[in-house]
Structure 1
């Protein structure tokens, strides 16, 4: 007899019950300046690493200025919420310094091939994480772990037999996050060794849209969408080469395997990816954007209790309805960048109905064989990680977030008309 998942209702979305840990998170650390300038953040990254060369300016300094301006305009953020983004900016700029230093000392890194990568794109909450995690069990592919994405270059050599401090740092951060938000595991669990989104690598060029999940940044969103992102994908390729080099980038070694990558951000950057990775395979998942908003707003609204003094669920939903529409319009406009020989549209309902069959289609498109032992490793993930294993969250887009679902469906008609997306009740 199949056991039904436990139903989780988050009843304090707008006025959360605050634990001591949440109060401390809202206050933030004492060792960071409250409103640093872009120059101050770069100075802190240089002081942290002892390095000074950020490499060619691909516009990242301007982007940092715009991000901070937009961040300081978000008056609903707590001090801790603001400083978490400041700390993130320092971290990724320190990463960039270490990347540039490593490549200067080992120029052969830029010769490490990134051949025929497999990209998975799709809306947040549309099955991309599930898809990349089980395909990553194919050990012929390179996948990106969360801890590597957060710190691609170690700050110091790791002695043989010792656990990489980057893993320990990542594990500590996400354990604390999960303890403060116990229902997050039912929506999107985060762990250091999990397979992660490669858009994190675009942080090193300050063009990652993850900032948007942590604050209300309309100025930044406008700037991001108004500028070409091709250079930032070229920088992502450089970081992939660095990671592959660390894994062993010689023929027959793990670094030479094909990359399996995924991010919702790719959905609005199809043309840029095509320019930088012309031999890639592009897989795009499609799910009803109204259902995506149900899930996404609940996840972000729930996590806002860590970083916001005042929580306004309807304002959050309006912001993300706008953002999802702009992402989908970019996808529709750029979809022609990829022809049928290298790309596949994956409707969510088809994927859920036959996950193994969809994997076979993806493998055929990518020109990969699928031996029985490899398929068995893949499908073992499905049995070991059933949906709703941590409970099923109740979503209420109309009641809690004040959105008119019928109006949203009219708004997204252009997307339903373009792709075979099944509307979900």
Structure 2
């Protein structure tokens, strides 16, 4: 266990490791082709199917790819990663449509009384959803499955019973730990970790997640104009298929995107019980953009900390404004508000409140499983990061925080970072 403190002094002008330099030298020599027809042909060949379902997905896919193409600062490594993502999304969508054609009863499966965690990145959502998933009576979405929710035809478990999708995710994680090893201290996406359903929302080419991978303000604007009720209904269809494949039908879900989509979320899951996590937006922004700036040493030709600070301060403001506006759409008897400063060390109290609101019995075996998870996953398990918003990004914490008075006025949130004198 690495419990050291990480401090980055090269975010704007990265000092690449030898491994990082070799990766970029190898990948930058050839421009990655993002031709939509070729990507679709590849997906069709993999899926053995050619029906995308909703005809409108083609236009959204074109907007998605156009947004990537408009980002001229991406390295070829990043373009290759995004190309693979588009092919993967298309292939899984094709496989989903084929599966439902074969088993139409999938769309009759009930997704019963899910627990849904809603909150900003870096506000305790990952910790809370992984804790909830420790109660194995509920279905959750591990990272390996979020990337490939539908198995490829004819590719079952190996002779040891290991799903090839898991093996591919494990290889990807091992490669990431070689190339950007400090990511684990900020957000370790190991294969078994419970992931956001925003990944399966993206199968409809209608989610906000692309914003984390590239500089795509055009996609943000396109996404915000969509009727998300339709796309959340498609996400539910994916959950129904996953339930059909390996159950159970009672889920635990989470995504920051839900902050600005509470209407569609509750229209899709009207019997959900929701845990809202709340944290100082300055700490959220500082943590998120530090993680992205570190990753950008391989993803981008140059790193621009000021752009990251400006964009994500605005993006978090939009998300939280919508959350404050629509919070009352989730009834008090079906929701809890969880302050970040009250979460660590009091997780079981939060779980008890959530289970009570959801009408779920917190059994002795479930309590034991939750305690075992907490004991095995203390905060800072992979080390901690020493952040410097003002020094590295040129942003005064106090000035940034003043933009979020509306949020502090609405919820029990404590300032965590002060400006330097």
Distance 1:4 1:231, change over 3 A: closer
Match of residue 353 from structure 2 = 361
Q: 1:14 aligns with which of 12, 15, 19?
A: 12
Q: Is the 8 A contact 2:129 2:253 kept in 1?
A: yes
Match of residue 351 from structure 1 = 343
The 5-angstrom pairing of residues 173-252 of structure 1 reads 173-247=172-246
Match of residue 54 from structure 1 = 52
Q: Is the 8 A contact 2:31 2:76 kept in 1?
A: no
Q: Which moves more between the two structures, 86-95 or 28-37? A: 28-37
1:422 and 2:420 matched = no
- Separation in 1, partners of 2:171, 2:361: 38
The alpha carbon displacement at 1:136 in A equals: 0.9
- Separation in 2, partners of 1:7, 1:31: 36
Q: Is the 8 A contact 1:123 1:286 kept in 2?
A: yes
- Separation in 2, partners of 1:398, 1:364: 42
Match of residue 122 from structure 2 = 125
Q: Is the 8 A contact 2:266 2:330 kept in 1?
A: yes
Q: CA offsets, 1:198-234, max 9 Å, x none?
A: 1111111012322111111110011111222111111
Match of residue 342 from structure 1 = 334
The 5-angstrom pairing of residues 76-95 of structure 1 reads 76-95=73-92
- Separation in 2, partners of 1:91, 1:124: 24
The 5-angstrom pairing of residues 29-40 of structure 1 reads 34-40=32-38
1:143 and 2:135 matched = no
- Separation in 1, partners of 2:4, 2:222: 42
User: What TM-score do you get using the length of structure 2 for normalisation?
Assistant: 0.94
Q: CA offsets, 1:128-156, max 9 Å, x none?
A: 11011112111111111111111111112
- Separation in 2, partners of 1:406, 1:83: 39
- Separation in 2, partners of 1:309, 1:110: 45
Q: Is the 8 A contact 2:2 2:381 kept in 1?
A: no
Q: Which moves more between the two structures, 304-313 or 202-211? A: 202-211
1:310 and 2:302 matched = yes
- Separation in 1, partners of 2:312, 2:19: 27
The alpha carbon displacement at 1:320 in A equals: 0.7
Distance 1:21 1:47, change over 3 A: farther
The alpha carbon displacement at 1:162 in A equals: 2.7
Q: Is the 8 A contact 1:76 1:311 kept in 2?
A: no
The alpha carbon displacement at 1:120 in A equals: 0.5
Match of residue 42 from structure 2 = 44
Match of residue 113 from structure 1 = 110
The 5-angstrom pairing of residues 158-173 of structure 1 reads 158-159=156-157, 161-173=160-172
- CA RMSD in angstroms, aligned pairs only: 2.0
The alpha carbon displacement at 1:236 in A equals: 0.9
1:67 and 2:59 matched = no
Q: Which moves more between the two structures, 30-39 or 185-194? A: 30-39
Q: Which moves more between the two structures, 94-103 or 258-267? A: 258-267
Paired residue secondary structure (2:251): strand
Q: Is the 8 A contact 1:140 1:257 kept in 2?
A: no
The alpha carbon displacement at 1:331 in A equals: 1.0
List runs of 5+ in structure 2 lacking aligned partners.
none
1:330 and 2:342 matched = no
- Separation in 1, partners of 2:42, 2:50: 11
Q: Which moves more between the two structures, 370-379 or 121-130? A: 370-379
Q: Is the 8 A contact 1:27 1:79 kept in 2?
A: no
List runs of 5+ in structure 1 lacking aligned partners.
248-254
Match of residue 252 from structure 1 = none
- Separation in 2, partners of 1:117, 1:315: 37
Match of residue 293 from structure 2 = 301
Match of residue 284 from structure 2 = 292
The 5-angstrom pairing of residues 20-31 of structure 1 reads 20-23=18-21, 25-26=23-24
Q: Is the 8 A contact 2:114 2:269 kept in 1?
A: yes
